[in-house]
């Protein structure tokens, strides 16, 4: 941790901030034993509904629950409005950028983003070059990871433009809270989130492929029950009332994509795919993929099916490309960015590398092509040996790393073993970009680092989730 004071969103231990007035009063009135009881009840609910996620590598129970904390995280309407405008702006610029890099590459020609960073990036998909997508949208569903360090200080930590997950927790957390504490919601006026699946379906239906006639048929393509986010895939398909398909359910014939039904083949127009680029089509990408559909890429390019998110959208969530997002906002929209980036050192630049090596013990170093918190060094928590190891890595492969200051993430009161205590949180709002407009359900998924002092909110590393409230009016 850095020495800066940590911002507690409720105001703890000082005066309670306005948005938290109700939560504070509630916490003072409810005995801890009852909270503990409710927590067990919540766990039972999650387990019975089957909201689990799989972590196979760790052994033990293959279907684990992500810990759920009962105390909501609250944003005032004004706070949310600012974030919302910033998110819309950012996602517009990200989509414009992805379209540009697969077409005229104007931002590269203008020298505003280094050409090599994009063109020689493993997330750059040559298969997408020169291909026009409906509405020029690539990242239809984007998850933007935000952190907060003060009343008015928000930073974007990461853009997830490929297949961001977690939205089912956003919806189910609210559902469970409504069941456990109905009277709490009677006293507060909280913006609903249950319509997210409707908004998602509208978004998917707004981007039919050019050759689609009539109402588009939308399906959700999942890798199957062994995928850690399978519950979410089933949940979303169910809520949208669309088929949840696996690769073997789809067939491409004459560059048209069909699903196998008991009544024969039925044409598919839009696929919300939750499998990675590499597995989409064994005829073009990983030839050993058993998850994908042979020929799907060609049906896509022939304009007979649309994929969300688009192949190649990952170029915009590379951690080194991230540095340039504010510049994208200026370049494509002619506006000043409303959301800030975390100050980032690009180790490919000699000046930056020098600084990073000199301050390694205060910084967070991340591999640019990694994801999910692996291949990462948290300077203040690292041993001498780890620091030395990373210094050597940085010198050998500076192109593969960026570094950021260790931020004092805001905290929110959390019900832990020995009572209620502040724990660090982040926020992942989900931004839906359709052919008609951008849709954002108020709030997002709040992830909380349950271990005291920990800044790691990933569910695979001991993180939990909270219900996120945006107060109305």
* Chain positions contacting another protein, by CB under 8 A: 47-48, 50, 105, 115-116, 119-120, 124-131, 224-225, 230, 234, 237-238, 243-246, 248-249, 251-253, 255, 259-264, 282-284, 287, 294-295, 297-298, 301-302
In the bound complex, what is the minimum distance in angstroms from residue 172's beta carbon to another protein?
13
Nearer to another protein, 44 or 343 (CB): 44
Nearer to another protein, 289 or 410 (CB): 289
Nearer to another protein, 62 or 150 (CB): 62
Nearer to another protein, 158 or 281 (CB): 281
In the bound complex, what is the minimum distance in angstroms from residue 200's beta carbon to another protein?
15
One-letter-per-residue 3-state SS of the chain: CCCCCCCECCCCCCCCCHHHHHHHHHHHHCCHHHHHHHHHHHHHHHHHHCCCECCHHHCCCCCECCCEEEEEEEECHHHHHHHHHHHHHHHHHHHHHHHHHCCCCHHHHCCCCCHHHHHCCCCCCHHHCCCCCHHHCCCCEEEEEEEEEECCEEEEEEEECCCCCCHHHHHHHHHHHHHHCHHHHHHCCECCCCCHHHHHHHHHHCCCCCCCCCCCCEEEECCCCCCCCHHHHHHHHHHHCCEEECHHHEEEECCEEEEEECCEEEECCEEEECCCHHHCCCCCCCCCCCCCCCCHHHHHHCCCCEEECCCCHHHHHCCCHHHHHHHHHHHHHCCCCCCEECCCEECCCHHHHHHHHHCHHHEEEEECCCCCCCCEEEHHHCCHHHHHHHHHHHHHCHHHEEEEECCCCCEEEEEECCEEEEEEEEEECEEEECCCCEEECCCCEEEEECCCCCCCCCHHHCEEEEEEEEECC
In the bound complex, what is the minimum distance in angstroms from residue 130's beta carbon to another protein?
4
Dist CA 223 CA 245 (whole Å):
9
In the bound complex, what is the minimum distance in angstroms from residue 167's beta carbon to another protein?
16
- Structure-block tokens of residue 195: 């319509």
In the bound complex, what is the minimum distance in angstroms from residue 131's beta carbon to another protein?
7
In the bound complex, what is the minimum distance in angstroms from residue 362's beta carbon to another protein?
34
In the bound complex, what is the minimum distance in angstroms from residue 231's beta carbon to another protein?
8
Nearer to another protein, 31 or 264 (CB): 264
Nearer to another protein, 88 or 239 (CB): 239
φ, ψ for residue 360, nearest 5 deg: -55, -35
In the bound complex, what is the minimum distance in angstroms from residue 15's beta carbon to another protein?
44
Q: How far apart are the first and last CA of the chain?
A: 36
Decide if 440 contacts 430 (C-beta within 8 A): yes
Task: Please identify which residue in the block is written with the tokens 């060094």.
Answer: 377
Nearer to another protein, 12 or 279 (CB): 279
In the bound complex, what is the minimum distance in angstroms from residue 288's beta carbon to another protein?
10
Decide if 453 contacts 436 (C-beta within 8 A): no
In the bound complex, what is the minimum distance in angstroms from residue 287's beta carbon to another protein?
7
Nearer to another protein, 48 or 186 (CB): 48
CA 267 to chain CA centroid, Å, is: 30
CB atoms within 10 A of CB 358: 10
In the bound complex, what is the minimum distance in angstroms from residue 457's beta carbon to another protein?
27
């Amino acid at each position: 941790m850095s020495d800066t004071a940590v911002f507690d969103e409720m105001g703890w231990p000082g005066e309670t901030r306005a948005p938290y007035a109700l939560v504070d009063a509630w916490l003072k009135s409810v005995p801890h034993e009852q909270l503990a009881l409710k927590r067990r009840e919540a766990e039972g609910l999650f387990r019975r509904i089957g909201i689990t996620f799989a972590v196979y590598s760790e052994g033990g129970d293959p279907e684990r629950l992500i810990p759920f904390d009962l105390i909501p995280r609250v944003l005032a309407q004004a706070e949310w409005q600012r974030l919302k405008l910033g998110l819309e702006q950012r996602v517009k610029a990200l989509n414009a950028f992805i379209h540009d890099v697969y077409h005229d590459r104007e931002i590269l020609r203008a020298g505003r983003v280094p050409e090599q960073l994009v063109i020689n990036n493993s997330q750059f998909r040559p298969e997408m070059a020169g291909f026009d997508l409906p509405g020029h949208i690539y990242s239809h569903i984007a998850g933007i990871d935000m952190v907060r360090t003060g009343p008015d200080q928000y930073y974007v930590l990461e853009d997830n433009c490929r297949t961001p997950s977690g939205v089912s927790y956003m919806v189910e957390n609210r559902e469970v809270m409504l069941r456990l504490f109905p009277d709490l919601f009677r006293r507060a006026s909280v913006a609903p989130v249950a319509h997210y699946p409707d908004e998602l379906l509208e978004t998917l239906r707004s981007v039919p492929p050019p050759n689609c006639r009539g109402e588009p048929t939308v399906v959700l393509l999942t890798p199957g029950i062994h995928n850690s986010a399978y519950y979410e895939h089933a949940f979303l398909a169910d809520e949208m009332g669309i088929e949840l398909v696996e690769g073997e359910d789809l067939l491409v014939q004459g560059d048209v994509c069909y699903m196998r039904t008991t009544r024969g083949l039925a044409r598919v127009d839009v696929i919300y795919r939750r499998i990675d680029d590499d597995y989409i089509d064994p005829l073009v990408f990983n030839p050993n993929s058993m998850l994908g559909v042979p020929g799907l890429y060609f049906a896509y390019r022939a304009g007979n099916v649309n994929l969300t998110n688009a192949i190649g959208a990952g170029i915009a969530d590379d951690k080194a490309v991230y540095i340039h997002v504010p510049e994208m906002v200026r370049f494509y929209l002619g506006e000043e960015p409303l959301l800030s980036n975390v100050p980032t050192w690009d180790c490919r630049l000699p000046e930056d590398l020098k600084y990073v090596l000199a301050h390694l013990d205060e910084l967070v170093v991340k591999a640019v092509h990694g994801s999910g918190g692996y291949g990462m060094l948290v300077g203040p928590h690292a041993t001498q040996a780890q620091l030395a190891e990373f210094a050597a890595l940085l010198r050998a492969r500076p192109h593969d790393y960026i570094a950021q200051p260790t931020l004092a993430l805001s905290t929110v009161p959390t019900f832990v073993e020995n009572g209620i205590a502040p724990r660090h949180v982040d926020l992942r709002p989900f931004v839906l970009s359709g052919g008609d407009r951008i849709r954002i359900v108020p709030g997002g998924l709040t992830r909380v680092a349950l271990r005291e002092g920990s800044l790691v909110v990933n569910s695979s590393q001991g993180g939990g989730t909270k219900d996120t409230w945006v107060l109305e009016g």
